[in-house]
Structure formats: C-alpha cells, structure tokens
Amino acid sequence: MKSAILKQVLADRAAKIPVALVTSLEDGRQAIVHEDGGPNGEFKLSEDEIAEVRKALRADESGTLDANAKLFAQMHNPRPRLLLVGAVHISQALAPMAAMAGYGVSVIDPRRAFATDERFPGIAMRGDWPDEAMADLKPDRRTAVVTLTHDPKLDDPALQAALRSPAFYIGALGSRKTHAARLERLATAGFTPEQTARVHGPVGLAIGALSPAEIAVSVLAQITAVRRGA
C-alpha cells in the first residue's frame, strides 16, 4: 500500500469517516472511495463501480464488485452507535445486548439516581440533558436513537434532535395513545407528518414482549431489521 493511501485511510478511520479501500486484484493498485466527493488513488473507477462501492459502504459489505470482479472493496466504517435516552430497566438489558451486536452504546440520563456505573457496567454514561448530549454526540447515518423515559422533558428534546439528524433509526417507548400525544407535540414543535413518520412508536417489533429483557430484544431486532433493510 502506498504511504499516501495508508495515511488517508488511517486518518479517515481516526475521524470516524466511512471510507472504502478498493484494490485491483490484477496488479495491486488501490483507490479510496468516500460517500461523496471524487475517489482518489492509483487508478480511476467507472461511475458504475463508484456507485456500487458506495452502496456497499452504506451496507458495510466488503467483497469483489459485480461491475468488475477484478476489484475488491474493503469497507472501513466506524462502529454503529446506539444512543439510549433513559437509564431504565429496559436500557439495562438493551445496552449490553447492543454492545454484543457491535454497537457503541451511550446511555443519556441526567437523573443521577438512575445513571450509575453500577447499573450499567462498561457502558458510556452521559449525565447531561438529552438536548445537550445529542448536540455533542451528533447522531449520523450510523446512529440509532431510542427514548425510554416516558418523560416528555427528556424524550422530546432527544427526538427533536434525532429528527434533525440523519440517524438511521429512531424509536420511542410508549403505548399507541402515548405515541399519538407525542406526535402532536412534535407537530407543535414544527415537524411534519413525513418527518415524524421516522419515529418507530411503540418501539420494537410486535413479538408480545412483556419483560424489560423481552422488550430489549424486540427493540434490537427492529433496529437490526431497519439497518439491514429487512
């Protein structure tokens, strides 16, 4: 690998910028492809090849290209993230499950009695208010946001921040009645029905979940389904 290409890939990974390294299996030449902007490197790719690499980058799938089997694209994506608003019992089950599934998990809750390291061992904790935490964490297209407090003072600012972001998944705990009231508040805040349709509520797949652990399973399953396009 040429020094300039290696430095670029390492810099992108350090900055958590998705990048694909495309290698010619014939002669070892390499090129770099990002989500936008022109690719650069030791050779030029066709428009079809670039489009396929970017699609694979979004899907996080490395492999040879259908458009050119002599090119191998290796994806270097940052870890997907899960931002949980509310250090509640469901979060206690969902956070370690999501970490095992490869997510970088952050639990956001300013209520010190709930947001403790003892209740969430090994999980990043945020004790600031959700709007402040979301502004700092900056949800991107590899981020899922789930609100679980049932408290509009905590959930609503997080949902508003998530709706203004490209987060790939947004979910909110609550009954259909609770969700209807939530949508009304979001509409009052200026969000359109098309925008609020991004919010999965009640959160999780309908598997008849009752316990916090079962609800956590349903939520992670739904996040996975949305992420994988199932």
- Bond preceding residue 139 cis, omega within 30 of 0: no
Residues 6 or more apart from 67 whose CB is under 8 A from it?
46, 48, 49, 52
pTM, rounded to two decimals: 0.85
How confident is the model at residue 224, as a pLDDT? Answer: 97
- C-beta pairs of 187-195 under 8 Å, 24+ apart in sequence: 189/156, 189/160, 191/160, 191/163, 195/163
Tens of pLDDT along 20-67? Answer: 999 999 999 999 999 887 788 999 999 999 999 999 998 889 999 999
Please say whether the beta carbons of 203 and 172 come within 8 A.
yes
More confident residue, 221 or 39: 221
AA letter at 95: A
Amino acid, res. 84: L
Q: Rounded to a whole number, what is the distance in angstroms from the first to the last CA of the chain? A: 36
User: What is the three-class DSSP state of 229?
Assistant: coil
What the chain holds in terms of domains, given with CATH numbers, is 3-76 (no CATH), 81-228 (3.40.50.720)
* pLDDT number for residue 1: 77
Sign of the four-CA dihedral 206, 210, 212, 214: negative
- Per-residue pLDDT tens digits for 147-161: 999 999 999 999 999
Q: Average per-residue pLDDT in the chain? A: 95
* 3-class DSSP state of 93: helix
Give me the phi and psi of 107, to 5 degrees please: -105, 125
pLDDT of residue 129: 96
pLDDT in tens, 128-183: 999 999 999 999 999 999 999 999 999 999 999 999 999 999 999 999 999 999 99
Query: Which one-letter DSSP state was computed for residue 192?
Result: -
